[in-house]
Amino acid sequence: MRIGELARRSGVSERSLRYYEAQGLLRAERTPGGHRDYGEWAVDRVIRIQTLYAAGLNSKKIAQLLPCMRDADGRPSEAATPKLVDELTAERDRIDRVITELVRSREVLDEVIATASSAAALP
C-alpha cells in the first residue's frame, strides 16, 4: 500500500510515517518509480509505534524494542536481551513515578477547588 493509504488506515500523518522510516522504526519497499510501498503488516506496526510513543518512550528506545515484541504468531521474539528488559523496567518505573506525581497534583487541585468553592459560596 502507498503512504497515503497507510496514513489513512493507521490514523497517522504521512509526515509522521516518513519520520518513523527515517528513525528506523518502519521500512518501505520502493516501487520502480520510487514511491513507498508498505505491506499489510505496516498498519499494526504503526499502531504499535504510536502506542509506545504514548507510553513515553522515545524513538531510540522504540527502535530497540520493536524487534523484541511479540511476533505475528504470538511468540516472543528472541531478540530481547536482559539489558533491554532492565531498561524497559526502568522506563515503566519512571512512568509509575510520573503517575504518582500527577495524582498528587490532582489531589492538591481538588483541595484548592473545594476551598475556593466554599469561599465563593459565602455571603
**The three-state (H, E, C) secondary structure of 66-90, written as one string:** HHHCCCCCCCCCCCCCHHHHHHHHH
**Rounded mean pLDDT, 65-71:** 72
108 versus 118: the higher-pLDDT residue is 108
Nearest to 25 by CA among 54, 45, 5: 45
| Whether 91 contacts 56, CB under 8 Å | yes
Residue 24 has pLDDT above 80, yes or no: yes
The whole-number average pLDDT for the span 21-39 is 90
71-99, pLDDT tens digit by residue?
Answer: 555 555 666 778 878 888 888 898 899 99
Those residues whose C-beta lies under 8 Å from the C-beta of residue 46, and which sit 6 or more positions away, are: 6, 10, 12, 17, 20, 26
In sequence order, what are the residues at sequence separation of 6 or more whose Cβ sits closer than 8 angstroms to the Cβ of residue 29?
36, 37, 38, 39
Higher pLDDT, 75 or 61: 61
d(CA 50, CA 55): 9
pLDDT the model gives residue 71: 52
**pLDDT at site 15:** 96
In this prediction, residue 77 carries a pLDDT of 61
Whether 25 and 42 have beta carbons less than 8 Å apart is answered as no
All residues at 6 or more sequence positions from 64 whose CB lies less than 8 Å from its CB, including other chains: 84, 87
